[in-house]
Amino acid sequence: MLRVSKLTDYATVVMTCLAVAGEGVLSAQSLAERVRLEVPTVSKLLKQLAQADLVTSTRGINGGYRLARSPKRITIADIVTAMEGPIGMTQCSAHAGSCGHEPHCGVRVNWQRINHAIADALTRVTLADMLKPPPHRRGTALPLRVAAA
């Protein structure tokens, strides 16, 4: 199964919480309460996100964290890369020369195509997009709301 790690998922949740806060600064404690995660987990996420220049921190009594740039300029690929390193379906699709079979591999080029498609899709979705409600799809019914009589 192809999936991101729990920490990457949590990092996306923390980043969306910061996006909702706008220019406001939130402490690790406040973020942890809002996203219902443990403070050490949120602190670990914030450290990695800060190292990737996705969040900035302010020290002091009114200190905390906020996004380093607009949610429209932070992609899901940025978050995944910050948490997991280069996006790669296989080792050789992320790092050339890392496999002894590379010179005679018949599928490497196709894995690279797949890797590129996934990386491109993650780059096209921004943090701002993650804040939007999901689009209504044709053919799917919306839940009915029954008015009280």
pLDDT recorded at residue 42: 97
Q: What is the pTM of this model?
A: 0.83
55: β partners: 67
pLDDT recorded at residue 63: 87
What structural domains does the chain harbor?
6-131 (1.10.10.10)
CB pairs under 8 A, 24+ apart, for 124-129?
Answer: 124/75, 125/75, 125/76, 126/71, 126/72, 126/73, 126/74, 126/75, 126/76, 127/15, 127/16, 127/19, 127/67, 127/71, 127/72, 127/74, 127/75, 127/76, 127/79, 128/19, 128/70, 128/71, 128/72
How many percent of the chain have pLDDT more than 70?
A: 85
Short-list 94, 20, 83, CA closest to 47: 83
Q: Place 38 in a pLDDT band, splitting at 50, 70 and 90.
A: very high
Q: Place 149 in a pLDDT band, splitting at 50, 70 and 90.
A: very low
Alpha carbon 138 to its chain's center:
28
